[in-house]
Amino acid sequence: METRITLKELAASLNLSVSTVSKSLNDSTEISPITKRRVTELATLKRYVPNNMAQNLRGKKTKTLGIIIPNIFSDFFAEALSSMEEQSDKRGYNIIISFTNDSLEKEIECINKLIHRRVDGIIISPTLTESQFGSSTHLNKLSEYNIPLVLFDRILDNVACDKVGLNESLLAEEATLDLCKLGCKKIAYFSNISNTSIGNQRISGYSDAIKKIKGKKQIINFHKIDLKISLKHLIGTNSIDSILADDGLSSILIVKSILELGYRIPEDISMLNFSNGIFSHYLSPSLTAIDSKPIEQGKIAVDILIDRIEDRLSPELLDFRLEVSLVHRESTRRLVPSI
């Protein structure tokens, strides 16, 4: 079935040696223009395609990156992945993509598979479990195989490698202070990812901000409550005037509940969330959100990884934290201009 033509067959048809044919195809200066032309012509005619496997076997590099992310169901990961693919392509690298669905077991399997496939480097956004319990031996072992690793978005402290992400704590603090600036005084954080490293950083940033504005800390674990009942109580007792939410999905549910309870956004409650996905644009009301720049982050992660692979970086490990900005939309009150 596999009938693709090889260098050897090409050489035979041309009455040339394999070396000459190979050099011709690689446009080596050693070869005469006439021979080159003969070779390339036949190669085109016979649809010769070099065997990457053989080339890589000699070259020791596979020009392939492994990318491991939890899923592509959030806009953040979808856009980040898309951007990584584009940038890898631009720099001449292929990618092998795996999704863990936040299963640590699958993540470990993936890592092993990528080692087997001899990828030149790996970008990973680890599972939440891992970020909770920090059992990252499978990541740390990559250095023993000399496979560069870039930790993306979900950054772990116990892994020594290049890192690309956000300053989640600072971000949460700024978001909280922003709500305050817009006139909110009772700001609750509905956390959807508590107990993870990112979740904890956000909580810490939120807490710092609340302390600064001398407010009352109200951290609500999204998974542990009956949303509608909680909201009814919180708003009814005038305990909150604004909500900081983790992701698009929880925002949607919160908005839906608030509206169904008969309250208005932003008049009664302001909403701000960490995910600037397509939801935030198109929901009614549209949501003020933190633009975490997945496109830029993805590109940077790929660039750092390839630079590391190609030895263009100084040995110190990078810890790149992107500056991000708030996108104000309908879900938060306008700032009343002071005269």
Q: Which residues bind a second copy (CB under 8 A)?
A: 1-4, 47, 49-54, 56-57, 60, 62, 71-73, 75, 78-79, 81-82, 85-86, 89, 94-99, 101, 113, 115-118, 141, 144-146, 249, 252-253, 256, 259, 278-279, 282, 284, 311
Structure tokens belonging to residue 286: 């549209």
Scanning residues 251 to 280, which ones bind DNA (CB under 7 A)? none
Which of a second copy, DNA, none is residue 26 near (CB under 5 to 8 Å by kind)? DNA
Q: Is residue 46 close enough to count as binding DNA by CB under 7 A?
A: no
Instruction: Compute the radius of gyration of the chain from its Cα atoms.
Output: 26
Q: How far apart are CA 7 and CA 37, in angstroms?
A: 15
How many chain residues touch DNA (CB under 7 A)?
Answer: 30
Of 328, 332, 329, 327, the closest CA to residue 266 belongs to: 332
Q: Is the peptide bond before 70 cis (omega within 30 degrees of 0)?
A: no
Among 4-12, 127-135, 229-237, 329-337, the segment contacting DNA (CB under 7 A) = 4-12
Which CB atom, from 6 or from 129, has the smaller least distance to a second copy? 6
Q: How far apart are CA 260 and CA 186, in angstroms?
A: 21
**Considering the complex, what minimum distance in angstroms separates the CB of residue 27 from a second copy?**
17
Which CB atom, from 42 or from 171, has the smaller least distance to a second copy? 42
**Considering the complex, what minimum distance in angstroms separates the CB of residue 117 from DNA?**
12
Angle of the 227-236 helix axis to the 248-260 helix axis, nearest 10: 60
Which of DNA, a second copy, none is residue 1 near (CB under 5 to 8 Å by kind)? a second copy
Structure tokens belonging to residue 62: 């596979």
Which of a second copy, DNA, none is residue 34 near (CB under 5 to 8 Å by kind)? DNA
Q: Is residue 23 close enough to count as binding DNA by CB under 7 A?
A: yes
Of 180, 211, 290, the closest CA to residue 246 belongs to: 290
Give the pairing of strands 187-191 and 218-221: parallel
Which CB atom, from 184 or from 271, has the smaller least distance to a second copy? 271
Give the pairing of strands 149-152 and 121-124: parallel
Listed in sequence order, the residues at least 6 apart from 228 whose beta carbon sits closer than 8 Å to its beta carbon are 257, 260, 261
Which CB atom, from 1 or from 336, has the smaller least distance to a second copy? 1
Is the separation of the CB atoms in 208 and 189 below 8 Å? no
Structure tokens belonging to residue 99: 């999704």
Which CB atom, from 45 or from 335, has the smaller least distance to a second copy? 45
Scanning residues 51 to 110, which ones bind DNA (CB under 7 A)? 51, 54-55, 57-60
Please give the distance of CA 310 from its chain centroid, rounded to a whole number: 22
Positions touching DNA (CB under 7 A) are 6-8, 15-20, 22-23, 25-26, 29-35, 48-51, 54-55, 57-60
